[in-house]
Amino acid sequence: MSPLAELPPRVRLVTAPMGIWGSFRTARRNLLGLIPEIATRQPIVSGRTGKRWHMVMDPEANRHILKDRVEDYPKSDVTKLILAPAIGQSLFIAEGAHWHWQRRAAAPAFSPRNVTALAPVMTAAAERASARIAGQAGRAADLYQEMVTTTFEVISDVTFSGGEAFDRAAVHRAIDAYIAQTARISLLDIVGAPPWVPRPGRLVSGPAMRDMKRVADTAIEARRKSGPRPAPDLLDLLLEGVDPETGRRMDTAELRDNLLTFIVAGHETTALTLAWALYLCAFDPAVQDRARAEAQAVLGARAAGAADLDSLPYIRQIIDEALRLYPPAAFLSRTARKADRLCGREVRPGDTVMLPIYALHRNHLLWRDPDRFDPDRFADPKAIDRFAYLPFGAGPRICIGASFALQEAVIVLATLLARFRFSRVPGRDPDPVLILTLRPQGGVWLEVERI
């Protein structure tokens, strides 16, 4: 690669120690700013900011943490403090037996057959997105906001389809308030204060979260009374879900917390994947043209569906590469329960062990020209180490909705690229900023041209 070749936007990583106050200010602004630049060239980096920490960018160590010794590396207290106000003790943050039974009960809802059955909802949302974007042809549009709208329609329709008791606007407002306030790092998190010490900033979005939970509870109870729909949605599937080992079913609070997990994670992360993918296609017109040719050959004038997925390999490669460069969950954090060694480094009980996925995906030891946009690096997925590429995590706690998200992303991206050409707006490139997810600050503004 020429040293003069343009690269898509990246985060400026830290090159000198920042101390507690500097770390706090940086984390409030952009959590990825805590990652040292050297983390993109080494397998592990350790330090102390209030408490001992280790950043791990080594596939074998990742396998150890996420698969072989997963019980010894539970999600960190900070992760639980940030997420619990919205999603309680749902699958995403529950531990041990409480996690196991929920996973067993929920797994059938995300079987390949059920995910495929939900594809028509995604196709319909892609058609509506196409109609909205067509109305903006000839000028710049914020494709990030368009993708947020699209994926929220999908997750709402597959979660509470036809549910008049489900106030989508109220839920959307609550999610925005939660991410804006509750999801930000506190100084008390940086210094390692115990979980029982109140974080004042996390009280701000409390009323909105209570409203969201009340809306969800009302919708769940209404569905219990009305019974399942002719075409079961995610709520129906979870209501039917039962732990095959114990016979236990989720009560209303457990159903609500898991549904809100899927709503918060399911629409935000897929919207980000699509927004970054569209930006990257505009960034590299040759990639966009190749993807468009593939989509048009397969789809003609119609929108994509589940039956088209195997015929759209290059579209899928673009999605995979967007997830590598801009992983929505770009920073995972665990707490070591037992003494251990990672990459030859001593790990003590209580140490924070971080998996900075952003740095892992751009590590020079693992990827050639890691900051370059190149979908062809995913032409042979088997050539990529499973634990070097972690957009959905790995091991037993891999994201339960990964296949759902990938199916939706390919359907929407293929439909849009077959119908529109997207170009960058000079001076309006997005800035990658991680608060809870890796968002394009300033939006993804692209010129839209109908084909």
Where in the sequence numbering do the catalytic residues fall?
269, 392, 399
- Identify whether the C-beta of residue 415 lies closer than 8 Å to the C-beta of residue 404: no
What's the chain's length in residues? Answer: 451
CB 38 within 8 A of CB 45: yes
- Rounded Cα distance, 110 and 247, in Å: 19
DSSP notation for 367-411: SSSTTS--GGGGSSGGGS-TTT--BTB-GGGS-TTHHHHHHHHHH
Locate tokens 């990257």: which residue?
A: 280
The answer to whether 417 and 133 have CB atoms below 8 angstroms apart is: no
Please report which residue ranges of 135-180 form alpha helices under DSSP H: 143-159, 168-177
128 in Cβ contact with 419 (< 8 Å): no
With contact defined as beta carbons under 8 Å apart, do 10 and 371 qualify?
yes
CB 348 within 8 A of CB 340: no
Q: What is the dihedral of CA 40, 44, 45, 47, to 10 degrees?
A: 160
Judging by beta carbons within 10 Å of its beta carbon (0-12, 13-18, 19+), is residue 300 exposed, middle or buried?
exposed
Pairing of strands 438-441, 431-434: antiparallel
62 CB-side CA count, 13 A: 24
Ranges assigned E (strand) in 173-331: none
Nearest-angstrom CA–CA distance, 82 and 290:
41
Burial of 70 (0-12, 13-18, 19+ CB in 10 A): middle
Amino acid, res. 292: R
Cα torsion 20, 26, 28, 30: sign: negative
Residue 445 β-bridge partners: 142
Cα gap 329→360, rounded to integer Å = 12
Retrieve residue 30's tokens: 């952009």
